[in-house]
Copies of this chain bind each other. A is one copy, B any other.
Amino acid sequence: MHLIDVQSGLLANNDAVAAENRGMLAKRGIYAANVMSAPGAGKTSLLERLLPLLAAKFRVAVIEGDIVGSADAERLAKLNLPVEQINTGGACHLDARMVHHAVHEVAHGPAEVLVFENVGNLVCPAEFDLGEDDAVMLLSVTEGHDKPKKYPVMFRRAGLLVVNKVDLLPMCDFDMHAAVSAARDINPGVEVIRTSCRTGEGIAEVAAWFERRIAAKRGRAAPPAKG
């Protein structure tokens, strides 16, 4: 956050809009995940592998956040899923207001699952609730095992930590035990799945995690009122 003096007001305002977004999605029983990571950790590559698995069972929509351009949205549009591109115009994260209109459109469409792909950044996206059910973060092994201690807000917020690019582990100094321990020191309940978007390792596990979370949301939803 840039501005300590306006930070609390800004976040309170964001939380109010995020609550509206969450309410719109809840009314339609739509599950939403906010996918975050540093630049180049593999968010789009993960979604290219993951979304076809989810789309076999659910109607999936994507809201894609980038500072400029639509390169990632074009990659994901090849999956024949509805993808809405949001350009943040320089902002280093999505916020609830930026996605509000797109969430409204999704909530009035056929989607059952909504995935936000956030701007590549390990800092600010973690502070801005979009109205999602779960925060999913990627850490690529090439970034180093010291990241949980350096970017604790993101690691604290994640419900799922995807440790990506494990195909490169033999060429890196990455200490998986140290990384996972540090993440769990900050966030004891975080689930951890190791993936390689190159080999496909772990992708089915990530899909299974999403399915469990979608089922949990549906289980939590109030049963329809009886006549």
CA gap between A120 and B120 in the complex, in Å: 11
User: Which of B90, B140, B152 meets A142, CB within 8 Å?
Assistant: B140
Question: Do A6 and B4 have beta carbons less than 8 Å apart?
Answer: no
CA gap between A168 and B69 in the complex, in Å: 28
**Across the interface, which residues of B come within 8 angstroms of A150, CB to CB?**
39, 66-69, 71-72, 120
Interface size of A in residues (CB-CB distance below 8 Å) = 44
CA gap between A151 and B90 in the complex, in Å: 9
Question: Do A122 and B120 have beta carbons less than 8 Å apart?
Answer: yes
**Across the interface, which residues of B come within 8 angstroms of A69, CB to CB?**
149-150
**Across the interface, which residues of B come within 8 angstroms of A142, CB to CB?**
40, 140, 142, 165, 168
Q: Which residues of A contact B (CB under 8 A)?
A: 1-4, 6-7, 10, 38-40, 66-69, 71-72, 89-93, 95, 119-124, 127, 140, 142-144, 146-147, 149-153, 165, 167-168, 171
A selection of 16 A-B contacts at a CB cut-off of 8 Å is: A2-B2, A2-B10, A2-B93, A3-B6, A3-B10, A39-B147, A66-B150, A67-B150, A69-B149, A69-B150, A71-B149, A71-B150, A72-B150, A119-B123, A121-B122, A142-B142
**Contacts A1-B90, A3-B10, A167-B171 supplied; 19 other A-B pairs, CB < 8 Å:** A1-B2, A2-B2, A2-B92, A2-B124, A6-B6, A38-B40, A38-B120, A39-B122, A39-B143, A40-B143, A40-B144, A67-B150, A71-B150, A92-B121, A92-B124, A120-B150, A140-B142, A168-B168, A171-B171
